[in-house]
Structure 1
Amino acid sequence: MTNAEKLTLAKHACHIRMGVIEGTHSAKCGHPGGSLDIAELLSYLYFVEMNIDPKDPKKADRDRLVLSKGHAAPALYAALAERGYFPVEDLKTLRKIGSYLQGHPNMNETPGVDMSTGSLGQGISAACGMALGAKHAGKPINVYTIVGDGEVEEGECWEAFMFAAHYGLSNLCVVLDRNHLQIDGTTETVMNSAPLEEKLKAFNFNVVTIDGHDYDQIEAAMQAFHAETAKPTCIIMDTTKGKGVSYMTNSVDWHGKGPNDDEYKIAIEELNAAYAALEQEEN
């Protein structure tokens, strides 16, 4: 990947973060912390990796993305808007009555959403079914799913992992967002699921561990996914919760609340400055 391509993706990621802040500020609620940390991943998936068409959101042979950690919907919506599925201005309707952008993704209402999610553990299970269905149909469809490191405390996730390995779902890419924080504190103190790499390898996954904010590493991990033809892949992605906004960074307090007016102003100023720096670097 060239530096110019990485800069373009970084600008998309910055816009995604702005969208997260716009939405959660307008809603006065939501989950900004775990949304901000997946901006680089979403920019790579929607602008490089996935076979999709915003003009035809339901095209039969499209790749699928299942946001299993459905509370990070503000990031998904911001990515979809950035990619052109619907107007960016609509992000301000997050969680409002009558809006098609609710607190968790709804495949029946929101263009580009492939699976309704929210109850943790169910998204990864649905993704497994989609991947198996594509295999049976002989379709070249890849299924991507984003799970949280708090979410994998759920037994249903491990049942899904076992299913994926049993059926050799090489078209399934699980991205495990390891930011080490969940609603009640650190994942290590609430319910330590380490060592994740060893456990997933024992479940017969192709496992790759990366810095989730590094585009070269994201690209290399996706290449490893495509090179694997016999088993599912799990990309364990080390991230910083609240990435991009100083007072949200690595703070469990920002798991589930929206910024007030003063906090919104600070966040947008920081993100605008980050975007300006990217433009200067590009020039």
Structure 2
Amino acid sequence: MAATLDDLLPAITKAGDQGLSLAKIKAAFGSKAAAKKGSPELRDKLATLVRSGDVWGPLKQGVAQLYFARGRGPSIETASHAIVTAIGSSGVKLISKPGLEKKITGTNKKFFPDGLKHAIASQAIVELTCGSSKYYLHRNVAADYFGFEATTSDQAPTPSRARDGAPASGPTLTLEDLLPAYRHLKAEQGGFSAVKIFDLMKASGEAKEDLHRLLIEETRAGRVTIHPTTTVDLPREEMDAGIRLAGFPEPFVTVVVKNEP
């Protein structure tokens, strides 16, 4: 039995997330004489379905124009899911934004920009900035990096416990404790925000392990950012004062406090 226009919506619905191309719609529902252009009745029926919200499209995919039933096909959410999956499958390996975009293929690619924003906003992934480049980690991996797997260059003991294994005593270092030293160093360098961790340690008089613990916690909370070295010519003492994180070849040697005038 030949397909009728009443069968158009069921056919698009049956196509699911793959959608139905305009070429296939014309071939199945247009007359043979008008298969290339499609009949006016077919164009009107398709337009009616789109206006009613039962069908959406067309979504251009290569040379094809795809139509989907309501709630089916690609979206910001499906692109976000594909992005999170791609980043999660990379484990501890950082993915650059261009590298990530290459991994998102098919119809989800059209929604990559908004899908990426959705994944970041939902905290499913973490965006790291190095210079003008952006890199991404899955939130679980980032939690390991910034919550549990930080190590100093001399393998200092975990900051929350004393050297004999007993709980550490004394007041806990806070960001507010560091701000006077940070602001002084920032002013000394003409307002440039990236302050060397080595200089901050010296100016504040804080122990390296305590300073590292605080900076990692504040990075995780989004109040500061830490940055790796961009040169191999830094003095050894400045490299040693940096924060070394598992999976990163170079230490993080500077810190920026956000929202500081």
TM normalised by structure 2 equals 0.19
Structure with bigger strand share is: 2
The higher radius of gyration belongs to 2
